[in-house]
Amino acid sequence: MDLLKQLCALPGVSSFEDAVRDYIKEQAAPYVDTMNVDAMGNLICFKKGAKATGTKLMLCAHMDEVGLMVRSITEDGYLKFVCVGGMDRRVLLGKQVLVGDRQVPGVIGLKAIHMTTAEERKKVPKLEDYYIDIGASSREEAEALVEVGDPCVFRSDCVEFGDGCLKAKALDDRVGCAVLLELLRRDLPMDCTFVFTVQEEVGTRGAFGAAFSVTPDIALVLEGTTAADAPSQDPEAQICHLGQGPVLSWMDKGTIYDRNLFERLRTVAQEHNIPWQLKHYVAGSTDAKAIQRTKSGVRVAGISAPVRYLHAPASVVNINDVEQVLELAWLFLQSVAGDC
């Protein structure tokens, strides 16, 4: 959990993953045989295992998180912005952000409620109606602190609460990054390539180049996925539930996962008494979408941790779910090695 908290605290809006990548490089360096950063910014680590096989296994998680980017500065010093990655505009009002390399603090604002019409109060505000207040009183004062194009990351503390829950930003997909780092520390049963990708949230852009370079035969993608398990949500649309174990995907909006690898994951989980659940609503996509379509094609599998309030300033996971994702990924790796 300390590793996950450290990762979530770092800023890493899509295409600005530098701080996350630097931290992962530092953590991974003592355990890998080779490490390189490609042109996109993906971190690719290779580690020898107990045996070299003809099967190339790639394990993947993305470093980037959703956020905002400054698009203009008003005459009176407010910042107008666009979203980086998919985001629900309803969650933005009043949230704290840190802007640019200087981590300038700001608050997302909107026209005061008493100034809105009855019709406006029935609708979700348009993105252009929001602004970021950094306390500047003029364009010149704001420009001394920030620039157009600066990324804005949500400011959200990591807090353990309730019955084994963790609240933080960027759990999608620092959960996957933490799991990969934990696996890297172990003595592996076979050679493996660990890939920490960039720009997943804006179209799985980093994963395509990484997979083209690595050319794996099998890829396991570790992710966070939407848990819409609120009591007001229809059961068939809840997707998955916190506290019920890793989520296995058979299909999402970007990928139909390899059937044999899906069955392998399910069998391994059952044989080792790891609770698991199906992602029973076709939604979202992962880096598997890009990896699967690389060159002559790649067999892909996915394990996800259920995450509430995905792509919001504060998300929630169950700590046991994360531990079980790690254990299932480890057992999957051993299973693949046993067949090689």
Is residue 214 domain-resident? yes
The region that residue 131 occupies, defined by phi over 0 for left and psi between -120 and 50 for alpha, beta otherwise, is: beta
pLDDT of residue 167: 97
Looking at the structure, do residues 196 and 274 belong to the same domain, yes or no?
yes
- Residue after which a domain boundary falls, among 154, 186, 211: 154
The number of folded domains in the chain is: 2
Tokens of 91: 């969650």
Question: Confidence class of residue 172 from pLDDT cuts 50, 70 and 90?
Answer: very high
pLDDT tens-digit readout, 285-298: 899 999 999 999 99
Looking at the structure, do residues 186 and 257 belong to the same domain, yes or no?
yes
Q: Please state the rounded mean pLDDT for residues 109-137.
A: 90
Looking at the structure, do residues 181 and 300 belong to the same domain, yes or no?
yes
Question: Confidence class of residue 279 from pLDDT cuts 50, 70 and 90?
Answer: confident
- Residue 156 makes CB contacts below 8 A (sequence gap 6+) with 96, 167, 168, 169, 313, 314
Rounded CA-CA distance 240/247 in Å is 7
CATH of the domain at 144: 2.40.30.40
Q: E strands within the chain?
A: 34-37, 43-47, 57-62, 67-73, 79-84, 96-99, 104-109, 131-133, 151-154, 159-161, 165-168, 192-197, 218-226, 247-248, 277-278, 299-307, 315-318
Rounded CA-CA distance 289/299 in Å is 11
pLDDT of residue 28: 97
Given a cut of 90, whether residue 38 has pLDDT beyond it is: yes
Nearest Cα neighbor of 88 from 253, 281, 228 is: 228
pLDDT of residue 269: 97
Tokens of 301: 């599998």
Is residue 164 domain-resident? no
- Residue after which a domain boundary falls, among 100, 121, 154: 154
Looking at the structure, do residues 257 and 331 belong to the same domain, yes or no?
yes
Is residue 84 domain-resident? yes
| 216: Cα separation from own chain's centroid | 21
CATH of the domain at 226: 3.40.630.10
pLDDT tens-digit readout, 67-87: 999 999 999 999 999 999 999
pLDDT of residue 121: 85
Looking at the structure, do residues 85 and 207 belong to the same domain, yes or no?
no
Amino acid at the residue 208: F
59: domain range? 2-65+169-338
In three-state secondary structure terms, 301 is: strand
Looking at the structure, do residues 256 and 323 belong to the same domain, yes or no?
yes
How would you write 206-273 as a 3-class SS string?
HHHHHHHHHCCCEEEEEEEEECCCCCCCCHHHCCCCCCCCCEECCECCCCECCHHHHHHHHHHHHHCC
Is residue 91 domain-resident? yes
Looking at the structure, do residues 173 and 313 belong to the same domain, yes or no?
yes
Question: Confidence class of residue 115 from pLDDT cuts 50, 70 and 90?
Answer: confident
173: cis peptide before it, omega within 30°?
Answer: yes
Question: Confidence class of residue 241 from pLDDT cuts 50, 70 and 90?
Answer: confident
Rounded CA-CA distance 256/49 in Å is 29
Given a cut of 80, whether residue 234 has pLDDT beyond it is: no
- Which residue of the set 65, 182, 200, 323 is catalytic? 200
Is residue 25 domain-resident? yes
- Identify whether 200 is a catalytic site residue: yes
- Residue after which a domain boundary falls, among 130, 154, 178: 154
pLDDT tens-digit readout, 206-215: 999 999 999 9
Q: Please state the rounded mean pLDDT for residues 263-277.
A: 96
- The C-alpha R_g of the chain, in whole angstroms, comes to 21
Looking at the structure, do residues 148 and 281 belong to the same domain, yes or no?
no
Is residue 162 domain-resident? no
Is residue 137 domain-resident? yes
Rounded CA-CA distance 142/204 in Å is 33
Q: Please state the rounded mean pLDDT for residues 203-231.
A: 92
Is residue 163 domain-resident? no
